[in-house]
């Protein structure tokens, strides 16, 4: 293109002229036409002229000093390459790339500004877009960046074919319908607006059908009708015995066709592959995709034919109409002849003359009629898919079966082409609910899903994005795992929740999609709402990622703490080069992670993206354990104490805590659990504290030091009378000789000394461990149990007792009345902790949780990192801080604590603000502190314990700004004071002043 700069005004005059035009035409209103211009070119022009007409879009301090003359306008970097069919049409269709963003890639300018710039510099192409007043939640002026082009072609009277020479490509908003187009064309043809009868709300089904007799009679009253061009590949039916190739895990395997899909409940071909013919049992390969090894003549050729637009298409929005999936829909406009006859003959087919894509009502195995669509037709059978349900319910049905009925005759509704499978009803206590605050039906332990969806539905930026249909232009059909299905189903669900009528929505379509994306959600077990939220954000991001080909960058951005701004920006740019979606724009921020080596003191700092901020409770790594200390000196009372121990600790940690509180030696303590009058378990040193339950009775027995180097064994002792246990059992340490045995006399002496305080006169009978007391003086008899055998008579003093884990000493009392209970006193630690379980705890605030999140800690054993300087694993000091604050801040209160053998839910009340959450103290980025005030708009709550419990949500309505209690099918207004609850689990905050419609602008400012 020639450079049109000759005769152009000087740079200053250009800047003044554009400024005047922007002042006159720069206010955007609905119904206008604006032009797109590449940011690269416009910024070069701004640098050349010094223009400040677009200064509001230029970040402060980013003005370049480049006086070179701009090249001709070049918009090719924002234009999408035309597809093959579009290129052949040549109707002036100019589509922009789906990944483009305002300011980063292009600017909107008035037509007058474009004409001025184009007159000075030339170039192009010219990209015009219309403006409209849009928004279901809040009306605002928007530019229709990705319209749907309807290529209108007149029908020739002589042969009924399309006259492509006079074809016109007309852009239409995505929310427009073909009914509106048909009304306008009919009005133009007749001179007055023909009214196309609207059948009302139509749901269910996919695909296209020929017109029914009733539809033909209605359409025949109009002076215009529309046809769309169907393109199909020519196919021939497969026959048993044919040589085919089966597609298995992406590879093709030749073989013989054994059976057809009609014989398989899942609609699969049965192929005996050549590689399996040598096997003894000759395994068959069941696949859904096969191809002929030698294609027949003409197979695979494209067959094009015009088919009528039906009622299933008329009320579907163009943005989600399957016929316009590529953003371009060729239409044949047929007008009646002057004689009143149509040019083309419309064939009316029988209902049971099924084709792929036909819609119908089908009775399922539970004898309930549901909207369905025909997926395959074969040998008198059809393979049907129930609209809105998972594919596992698809089945083969005889074409003559009474289970099949014309669409709308059994279900009471006619399917639309864009049907999403979401049913709704007025069932449920939805009184007082506003638009958007509706109930979600529980499909079976799906309260966790409903709670998450209600909170997401209250997120302003995302909800506007989905309700207004903007997501359709950004869906990536090649997205990993989901292929765009998560975004489609979520968008359908949100639209249904924001429809005009108050109702309860059944999210079966979303449930099936999220279950296929993440199989752990496919069943009907109770799950975690935070895990579902993380999975939903991942799925939406992948489906809407504007980056189709992710660049590979093997060099991570790691700093040493001296240049955080530079490293943070580098890390963020690397991340956004691969991950770029509306989810990242709104919800993701950055975390600063610092690790310091304890040996070489090297700082390692990196910056990671973060979507859900998981904050712990203060002191959540420790727990208070109640233990009763029994001293060796029986004249001293027993003490019940409450000691603080690490949750990840073991019995050794517990013994050391008890020893410190009771001023005894830790190595002389035997820690055990007492249950139903016996020592249930003696804890080994490695026994995890996390396995001890709240109501377990834990005792610590002090044992005397053994003389010399004798090995000690622990024996369990219990009290028994009339074959029933009573009293408090205890443990003793006895010296064992070679072979692991001990003399009965030694055991008897230790037992009598340990029980002197439990029978009258016992303290007087033996004053020291070294003096023996006759068993005859004690009101009990010492017996022994070794394995399954039990000796009920006293053994001789020199008798050997084999000591093992099953050895137990029984004190058989003549009467329970002779037993004197030991005195128990409360240690000061027990008094400080409180006698009552569940007593008032220290108040916890959200700020306290954030402080715990940013607290420096030493890496635990097993979580070490490799120091790049020392070249070895180190237990460094780690500290986390917030860096980049997102527009939408999601905070998870880590109430659920899990270890290998321990689970717990923290029910502590957390005081969190409804308005004015100041996050500036928690970010280390100075530029982020200026706008760091957040307001709460939704809470996901969990009540009950770990075994199941129940989820619900509190959410602030986007329209009336009132708070609503959303509990499955129930929805109703609530007092804002009740939003603060001890059941709060996920907190959703929005940055104050954040406008979701400008999210892209804020995200891509340089």
Query: pLDDT by residue (tens digit) across 927-936?
Result: 899 889 999 9
Q: Which neighbouring-strand residues pair with 737?
A: none
3-state class (DSSP) for residue 529: helix
CA angle centred on 892, ends 689 and 940, rounded to 5°: 115
Of 222-226, 840-844, 890-894, least confident by mean pLDDT is 840-844
Can you tell me the distance from the alpha carbon of 311 to that of 594, in angstroms, rounded to the nearest whole number?
61
- Distances in whole angstroms, Cα of residue 468 to Cα of each of 319, 611, 983: 10, 24, 33
Average pLDDT over residues 317-331: 77
Instruction: Work out the percent of the chain whose per-residue pLDDT is above 90.
Output: 23
Name residue, tokens 């390692």: 604
**Close Cβ partners of 233 (under 8 Å, ≥ 6 residues apart):** 299, 300, 301, 302, 303
The answer to whether residues 905 and 896 touch, using CB atoms and an 8 Å cutoff, is yes
| Helix (H) or strand (E) segment spanning residue 536 | helix 529-544
Q: Is 606 exposed, middle or buried, given 0-12, 13-18 or 19+ CB atoms closer than 10 A?
A: middle
Nearest by Cα to 748 from 734, 761, 736: 734
Nearest by Cα to 127 from 175, 78, 72: 78
Average pLDDT over residues 547-568: 87
Can you tell me the distance from the alpha carbon of 4 to that of 342, in angstroms, rounded to the nearest whole number?
52
**Close Cβ partners of 897 (under 8 Å, ≥ 6 residues apart):** 620, 647, 903, 904, 905, 906
Exposure pattern of 408-447 as b/e (b: 16+ CB <10 Å)?
bebbebbbbbbbbbbbbeeebebeebbbbbbbbbbeeebb
In this prediction the pTM is: 0.58
The verdict on whether 950 is a catalytic residue reads yes
Average pLDDT over residues 105-128: 92
User: What does the pLDDT read at residue 658?
Assistant: 93
- Distances in whole angstroms, Cα of residue 992 to Cα of each of 155, 207, 417, 911: 56, 45, 40, 20
* Residue 449 pLDDT level (bands cut at 50, 70, 90): very high
Average pLDDT over residues 503-516: 88
Can you tell me the distance from the alpha carbon of 99 to that of 78, in angstroms, rounded to the nearest whole number?
9
**Close Cβ partners of 360 (under 8 Å, ≥ 6 residues apart):** 205, 351, 371, 372, 373, 374, 384, 404, 405, 406, 407
Nearest by Cα to 768 from 754, 781, 782, 787: 754
With 60 as the cut, is the pLDDT of residue 707 above it? no
With 80 as the cut, is the pLDDT of residue 319 above it? no
Q: Which neighbouring-strand residues pair with 734?
A: 713
Q: Is 889 exposed, middle or buried, given 0-12, 13-18 or 19+ CB atoms closer than 10 A?
A: buried
With 70 as the cut, is the pLDDT of residue 751 above it? yes
Can you tell me the distance from the alpha carbon of 206 to that of 357, in angstroms, rounded to the nearest whole number?
7
Q: What is the pLDDT of residues 674-696, one digit of tens each?
A: 888 888 888 888 888 877 877 78
Q: What is the pLDDT of residues 945-956, one digit of tens each?
A: 766 689 999 999
* Residue 524 pLDDT level (bands cut at 50, 70, 90): confident
Nearest by Cα to 749 from 733, 767, 770: 770
Q: At what angle are helices 11-25 and 39-49 packed, to 10 degrees?
A: 120
User: What does the pLDDT read at residue 220?
Assistant: 46
**Close Cβ partners of 530 (under 8 Å, ≥ 6 residues apart):** 612, 892, 940, 985, 986
Q: Are strands 439-440 and 504-506 parallel, antiparallel or unpaired?
A: parallel
3-state class (DSSP) for residue 785: strand
Nearest by Cα to 748 from 801, 822, 786, 689: 801
The answer to whether residues 682 and 731 touch, using CB atoms and an 8 Å cutoff, is yes
Residue 720 CA, chain-centre distance (Å), reads 58
In degrees rounded to 5, what are phi and psi of residue 448? -60, -40
Upstream peptide bond of 62 is cis (omega within 30 degrees of 0) = no
The 697-702 sheet, strands edge to edge: 678-682, 669-675, 697-702, 622-630, 638-646, 824-826
Q: What is the pLDDT of residues 380-391, one digit of tens each?
A: 888 888 876 767
The answer to whether residues 991 and 933 touch, using CB atoms and an 8 Å cutoff, is yes
Can you tell me the distance from the alpha carbon of 808 to that of 816, in angstroms, rounded to the nearest whole number?
20
| Helix (H) or strand (E) segment spanning residue 288 | none
Its sign, for the CA torsion 830, 833, 836, 837, is: negative
Q: Is 308 exposed, middle or buried, given 0-12, 13-18 or 19+ CB atoms closer than 10 A?
A: buried
Q: What is the pLDDT of residues 454-506, one digit of tens each?
A: 999 999 888 888 887 788 778 888 887 888 899 999 998 998 888 776 578 88
User: What does the pLDDT read at residue 338?
Assistant: 78
The answer to whether residues 693 and 664 touch, using CB atoms and an 8 Å cutoff, is no
Residue 302 CA, chain-centre distance (Å), reads 41
Of 416-425, 521-530, 614-623, least confident by mean pLDDT is 416-425
The answer to whether residues 672 and 860 touch, using CB atoms and an 8 Å cutoff, is no
Can you tell me the distance from the alpha carbon of 653 to that of 897, in angstroms, rounded to the nearest whole number?
20
Can you tell me the distance from the alpha carbon of 809 to that of 257, in angstroms, rounded to the nearest whole number?
76
Average pLDDT over residues 438-451: 90
Q: At what angle are helices 447-457 and 485-497 packed, to 10 degrees?
A: 80
Q: Is 310 exposed, middle or buried, given 0-12, 13-18 or 19+ CB atoms closer than 10 A?
A: buried
Can you tell me the distance from the alpha carbon of 424 to that of 499, in angstroms, rounded to the nearest whole number?
10
* Residue 841 pLDDT level (bands cut at 50, 70, 90): very low
* Residue 817 pLDDT level (bands cut at 50, 70, 90): confident
Among the listed residues 362, 447, 535, 731, the single catalytic one is 447
Token pair for 53: 């007409």
DSSP assignment of 588-619 equals -EEEEEEEE-TTT--EEEEEEEESEEEEPPTT
Of 48-62, 569-583, 868-882, least confident by mean pLDDT is 48-62
Q: What is the pLDDT of residues 327-369, one digit of tens each?
A: 888 888 888 887 778 887 766 667 788 888 788 899 988 888 8
User: What does the pLDDT read at residue 912?
Assistant: 95
User: What does the pLDDT read at residue 611?
Assistant: 93
Number of alpha helices (DSSP H) and beta strands (DSSP E) in the chain: 20, 56
Q: Is 165 exposed, middle or buried, given 0-12, 13-18 or 19+ CB atoms closer than 10 A?
A: exposed
The verdict on whether 146 is a catalytic residue reads no
- Distances in whole angstroms, Cα of residue 235 to Cα of each of 356, 379, 575: 13, 15, 46
The answer to whether residues 436 and 938 touch, using CB atoms and an 8 Å cutoff, is no
Name residue, tokens 């958007």: 436
The answer to whether residues 362 and 386 touch, using CB atoms and an 8 Å cutoff, is yes
Token pair for 124: 């192009």
Q: Is 518 exposed, middle or buried, given 0-12, 13-18 or 19+ CB atoms closer than 10 A?
A: buried
Q: Which neighbouring-strand residues pair with 123?
A: 73
Average pLDDT over residues 208-219: 41
Q: What is the pLDDT of residues 902-924, one digit of tens each?
A: 466 787 889 999 999 999 999 99
Average pLDDT over residues 267-287: 82
Of 443-447, 757-761, 833-837, least confident by mean pLDDT is 833-837
CA angle centred on 64, ends 60 and 68, rounded to 5°: 155
User: What does the pLDDT read at residue 349?
Assistant: 67
Can you tell me the distance from the alpha carbon of 576 to that of 587, in angstroms, rounded to the nearest whole number?
13
Average pLDDT over residues 87-95: 65
Q: Which neighbouring-strand residues pair with 79?
A: 96
Say how many Å lie between the first and final Cα of the chain, rounded: 31
């Amino acid at each position: 293109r020639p450079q049109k700069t000759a005769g152009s005004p000087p740079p200053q005059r250009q800047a003044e002229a554009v400024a005047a035009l922007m002042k006159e035409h720069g206010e955007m209103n609905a119904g206008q036409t604006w032009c797109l211009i590449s940011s690269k070119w416009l910024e070069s022009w701004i640098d050349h002229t010094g223009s400040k007409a677009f200064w509001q879009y230029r970040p402060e301090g980013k003005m370049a000093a480049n006086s070179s003359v701009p090249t001709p306008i070049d918009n090719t970097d924002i234009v999408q390459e035309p597809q093959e069919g579009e290129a052949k049409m040549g109707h002036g269709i100019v589509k922009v790339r789906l990944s483009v963003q305002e300011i980063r890639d292009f600017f909107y300018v008035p037509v007058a500004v474009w004409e001025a710039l184009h007159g000075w510099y030339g170039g192009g192409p010219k990209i015009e877009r219309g403006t409209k007043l849009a928004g279901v939640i809040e009306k605002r002026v928007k530019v229709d960046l990705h319209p749907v082009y309807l290529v209108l072609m007149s029908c020739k009277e002589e042969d009924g074919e399309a006259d492509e020479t006079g074809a016109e490509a007309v852009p239409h908003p995505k929310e427009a319908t073909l009914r509106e187009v048909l009304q306008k064309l009919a009005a133009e043809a007749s001179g007055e607006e023909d009214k196309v009868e609207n059948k009302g709300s139509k749901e269910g089904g996919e695909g296209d059908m020929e017109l029914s007799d009733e539809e033909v009679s209605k359409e025949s009253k109009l002076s215009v009708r529309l046809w769309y061009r169907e393109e199909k590949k020519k196919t021939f039916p497969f026959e048993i015995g044919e040589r085919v190739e089966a597609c298995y895990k992406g590879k093709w395997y030749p073989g013989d066709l054994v059976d057809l899909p009609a014989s398989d409940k899942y609609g699969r071909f049965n192929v005996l592959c050549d590689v399996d013919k040598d096997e003894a049992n000759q395994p068959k390969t069941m696949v859904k995709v096969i191809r002929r090894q030698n294609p027949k003549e003409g197979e695979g050729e494209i067959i094009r034919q015009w088919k009528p637009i039906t009622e299933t298409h008329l009320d579907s929005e163009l943005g989600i109409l399957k016929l316009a999936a590529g953003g371009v829909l060729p239409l044949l406009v047929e007008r009646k002849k002057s004689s009143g006859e149509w040019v083309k003959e419309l064939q009316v087919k029988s209902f049971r003359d099924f084709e792929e894509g036909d819609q119908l009502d089908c009775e399922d195995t539970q004898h309930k009629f549901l909207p369905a669509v025909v997926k395959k037709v074969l040998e008198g059978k059809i393979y049907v898919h129930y609209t809105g349900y998972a594919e596992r319910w698809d089945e083969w049905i005889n074409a003559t079966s009474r289970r099949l009925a014309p669409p709308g005759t059994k279900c009471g509704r006619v399917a639309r082409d864009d049907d999403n499978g979401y049913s709704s009803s007025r069932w449920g206590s939805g009184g007082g609910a506003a638009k958007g605050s509706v109930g979600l039906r529980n499909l079976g332990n799906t309260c966790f899903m409903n709670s998450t969806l209600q909170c997401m539905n209250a997120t302003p930026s995302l909800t506007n994005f989905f309700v207004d249909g903007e997501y359709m232009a950004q869906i990536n059909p090649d997205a990993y795992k989901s292929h765009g299905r998560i975004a489609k189903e979520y968008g359908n669900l949100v639209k249904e929740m924001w429809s005009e009528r108050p109702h309860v929505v059944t999210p079966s379509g979303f449930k099936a999609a999220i279950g296929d994306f993440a199989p752990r959600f496919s069943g009907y077990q109770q799950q975690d709402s935070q895990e579902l939220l993380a999975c939903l954000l991942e799925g939406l991001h992948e489906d809407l990622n504007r980056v189709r080909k992710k660049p590979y960058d093997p060099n991570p951005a790691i700093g040493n703490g001296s240049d955080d701004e530079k490293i943070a920006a580098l890390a963020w740019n690397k991340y956004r080069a691969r991950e770029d979606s509306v989810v990242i724009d709104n919800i993701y921020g950055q975390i600063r992670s610092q690790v310091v080596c304890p040996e070489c003191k090297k700082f390692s700092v990196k910056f990671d993206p973060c979507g859900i901020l998981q904050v712990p409770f203060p002191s959540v790594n420790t727990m208070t354990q109640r233990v009763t200390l029994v001293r060796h000196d029986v004249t001293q009372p027993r003490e019940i104490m409450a000691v603080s121990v690490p949750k990840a600790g073991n019995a050794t940690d517990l013994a050391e805590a008890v020893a410190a509180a009771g001023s005894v030696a830790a190595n002389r303590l035997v820690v055990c659990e007492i249950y139903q009058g016996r020592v249930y378990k003696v804890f080994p040193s490695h026994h995890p504290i996390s396995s001890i339950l709240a109501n377990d009775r834990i005792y610590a027995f002090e044992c005397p030091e053994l003389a010399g180097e004798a090995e000690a064994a622990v024996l369990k002792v219990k009290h028994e009378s009339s074959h029933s246990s009573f009293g408090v059992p205890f443990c003793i340490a006895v010296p064992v000789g070679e072979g692991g045995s001990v003399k009965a006399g030694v055991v008897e002496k230790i037992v009598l000394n340990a029980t002197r305080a439990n029978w009258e006169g016992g303290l007087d009978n033996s004053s020291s461990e070294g003096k023996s007391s006759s068993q005859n003086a004690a009101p009990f008899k010492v017996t022994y149990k070794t394995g399954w055998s039990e000796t009920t008579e006293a053994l001789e003093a020199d008798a050997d007792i084999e000591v093992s884990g099953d050895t137990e000493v029984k004190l058989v009392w003549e009467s329970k009345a002779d037993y004197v209970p030991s005195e128990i006193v409360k240690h000061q630690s027990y008094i400080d902790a409180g006698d009552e379980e569940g007593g008032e705890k220290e108040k916890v605030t959200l700020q306290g949780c954030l402080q715990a999140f940013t607290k420096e800690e030493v890496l635990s054993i097993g979580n070490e990192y490799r120091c790049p300087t020392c070249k070895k694993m180190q237990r460094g000091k780690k500290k986390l801080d917030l860096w980049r604050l997102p527009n939408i801040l999601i905070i998870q209160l880590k109430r659920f604590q899990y270890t290998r053998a321990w689970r717990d839910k923290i029910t502590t009340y957390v005081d969190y603000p409804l308005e004015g959450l100041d996050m500036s103290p928690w970010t280390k980025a100075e530029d982020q502190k200026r706008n760091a005030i957040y307001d709460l708009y939704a809470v996901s709550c969990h009540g009950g314990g770990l075994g199941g419990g129940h989820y619900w949500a509190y959410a602030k309505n986007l329209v009336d700004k009132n708070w609503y209690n959303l509990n499955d099918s129930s929805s109703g207004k609530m007092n804002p004071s009740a939003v603060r609850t001890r059941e709060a689990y996920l907190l959703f905050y929005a940055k104050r002043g954040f406008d979701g419609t400008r999210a892209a602008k804020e995200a891509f400012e340089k």
